[in-house]
Chain A
Amino acid sequence: MAKKLRMNSFLFCCALLGALPVGLILLALLNITLGQLSDPEFLWLVATESEVVGTILLTFFAGLCAVIILLIVGTPLAYLLARSATKTAKVIGTIIDLPVMLPHTIAGILVYLLFMPNGWLGAPFSAIGITFQDAFFGIVAAMLFVATPFYVTTVQEGFGKVPVHLENAARTLGASPFTVFRTVTLPMTLRHISSGSVLAWGRSISEFSAVIMIAYYPMVISTLIYNRFMTGGLKESSAVAFTMILACLLIFGILRFIAGRIGGAYDRV
């Protein structure tokens, strides 16, 4: 049951200051919504355009691929970082955080240099027929690069909250290290894993600079909105943007609801 907040002067000041960012977001949403609803026919025309629908689906799917890769490779890394206090772990933690600090155009350059057809990774992949430049895999690579810190940091924090002696007790009861991870550590970290995944997915689909460096085509939604802005003007790009806002509100609203329920009984230590 939601607890009712008893208002005092300090909480009132918090609410007053906090109203600013909330108000800003609401105002921006209201602005675009009223603009779009004034011409619903045009909005419907743009929203049902196959290029717009296809691009939104591609963006969500590429983001999902990045999240799946992170679930597979980011989870063990986060566990390792949470359980290790060595200098190497700290250095790795800093390296993982780097994409958050860097301007995204720099991230784009880094990804491009690595995955371009004659890049260190691009060349061997080209040899087996996988290309990144102006290709789906390029989008996923750029999204993965920028989303990794969000996932790893969130999940690492979750693993850090599972007391080591719980794992020790499980080991003495006859569980192998992997079984301990599967039956004790992972279930207690589900909430962090789900919120890390949502964060990483959100970060992936919102990426623009890093993606266009390696793959202007096929266009992700940010690229399409930019493209429409340059070619068709504000009206057309706003309609695409509004469609994406609706899609995001729907999907992330559902995800937040699900994530709030996952692991609720597990992470109370």
Chain B
Amino acid sequence: MIEFEDVSLSLGNFSLKNCSLSIGTGEYFVIMGPSGAGKTILLELIAGLHDPDTGVIRINGSDAAEIPVEKRGIAIVYQDYALFPHMTVEANICYGMQRRHIPRDEQMRRCRELGGSFGIAHLLKRKPLTLSGGEAQRAALCRALAVKPSILLLDEPYSALDNESRKSCIADLKKLHKEGLTVVHVTHSLEEAKSLAMRVAIVRDGRIVVTGAAEEVFTQPKDEATARFLGFENIFRGDVIGRRGRVCIRSEDILLHQEESENSFPGNVLSADIQGALRICKVDIGEVLTVTLGKREGDYLAGSRVFVEIPDSAVHMI
């Protein structure tokens, strides 16, 4: 269990302000936020690499300030993996075990076992600089897991990976989490967060703006900035069933029709851009809406008249 109580920290021009959160044992917790929001600092605070200026951090009920970094049983995997370039993959994986004075035979056994289960057994004698992104990511994960940490911290570990490697690494992590490991994962990828998170915190400008169950945070944003960050492109002032506020609608939840139907609004397509497999349309219905369609979902061109359907479930009020 990790608890932050009103934690603040200033580092140069950046400051983390009054952060409170709690991460349960065995939870998969995702910290999201734009670049420079303070996500990595939050991770490093958990690891003990910074001391808070004010506030308290507790790990399993004990004041973390009393526990030195090397005794916390927390391992971290950085965005660029932070493998030691002067050591082989094997020496990297054994590094933490060596510090714990685990006998050499046991170190090698665990190293081979981890290397085998993460598919890098054939790379153990290689230097990190000769590995691909996916291989290095796995080596870093093996190094972190070799010390059997109680908490695993991941700092955007997939940002440099291709799609295939990312999918397979996400599967690895899901497996580890099922085995009972507490994981705190920093990312700015919504896709990653959705596929892994049990609970989520969103950080912006050094503050934790939202924490909650993943499903709740992703579907019910609490403010406009959070809604934008979570991919709600359509946000405007509105009045829905007597409730005034901001209406948020994801662009992919809006439907376009060529024929008028019940509860549809007539509008004009202002632009229709093809982006990869998607068609992004701007439709004027009095407010300009962004609508994301599959490329093959109707041949809507700029200037054509359409009818816009917004399902009830797509509308979120803030």
Contacts and interface: CB of A to CB of B under 8 A. Distances in A.
Contacts of A21: none
Contacts of B153: 172
A268 B82 contact: no
A187 B86 contact: yes
Nearest to B149: A172
Contacts, number: 65
Interface in B33-50: 44, 47-49
A46 interface: no
A210 interface: no
B117 to A, nearest CB: 19
Contacts of A171: 47, 49, 69-70
Contact of A166 (B71, B84, B129, B144): B84
A168 interface: yes
Given A165-B78, A179-B99, A268-B129, A172 B72 contact: yes
A188 interface: yes
Interface in B108-140: 127, 129
Contacts of A268: 85, 129
B69 to A, nearest CB: 4
Contacts of A173: 70, 75, 95-96, 99, 143-144, 147
A163 interface: yes
Contacts of B95: 170, 173, 175, 183
Given A168-B49, A169-B78, A265-B127, A175 B85 contact: no
B85 A172 contact: no
Interface string A151-171: 000000000000101101111
Contact of B147 (A85, A168, A174, A176): A174
B85 A188 contact: yes
Interface residues of A, number: 22
Contacts of A168: 44, 47, 49, 76, 78, 82
Nearest to B77: A169
Contacts of A174: 70-71, 96, 99-100, 147
Contacts of A85: 12
Nearest to A180: B70
A56 B143 CA distance: 52
Nearest to A164: B49
B41 to A, nearest CB: 12
A41 to B, nearest CB: 52
Interface string A175-194: 11001000110011000000
Given A187-B86, A265-B86, A172 B70 contact: yes
Nearest to A184: B84
Nearest to B127: A265
A172 B48 CA distance: 8
The CB with the most chain A CB atoms within 10 A, among B72, B76, B147, is that of B76
B74 interface: yes
Interface string B70-106: 1110111010101011100000000110011000000
A170 B127 CA distance: 17
B39 to A, nearest CB: 14
Interface in A227-269: 265-266, 268-269
A170 B84 contact: yes
Nearest to A188: B86
A188 B87 CA distance: 10
A163 B82 contact: yes
- When A and B form their complex, which 6 residue pairs have the shortest distance between CB atoms, in order from nearest? A173-B96, A174-B99, A266-B86, A169-B82, A171-B69, A174-B70
Given A168-B78, A266-B86, 16 more contacts: A165-B82, A168-B82, A169-B143, A170-B84, A172-B69, A172-B75, A172-B76, A173-B70, A173-B96, A173-B99, A173-B143, A173-B144, A174-B147, A175-B95, A176-B70, A268-B129
30 contacts: A165-B78, A166-B84, A168-B44, A168-B49, A168-B76, A168-B78, A169-B76, A169-B78, A169-B143, A170-B84, A171-B47, A171-B49, A172-B47, A172-B69, A172-B72, A172-B75, A173-B95, A173-B96, A173-B147, A174-B71, A174-B100, A174-B147, A175-B95, A175-B99, A176-B70, A184-B84, A188-B84, A188-B86, A266-B85, A266-B86
Interface of B: 12, 44, 47-49, 69-72, 74-76, 78, 80, 82, 84-86, 95-96, 99-100, 127, 129, 143-144, 147, 153
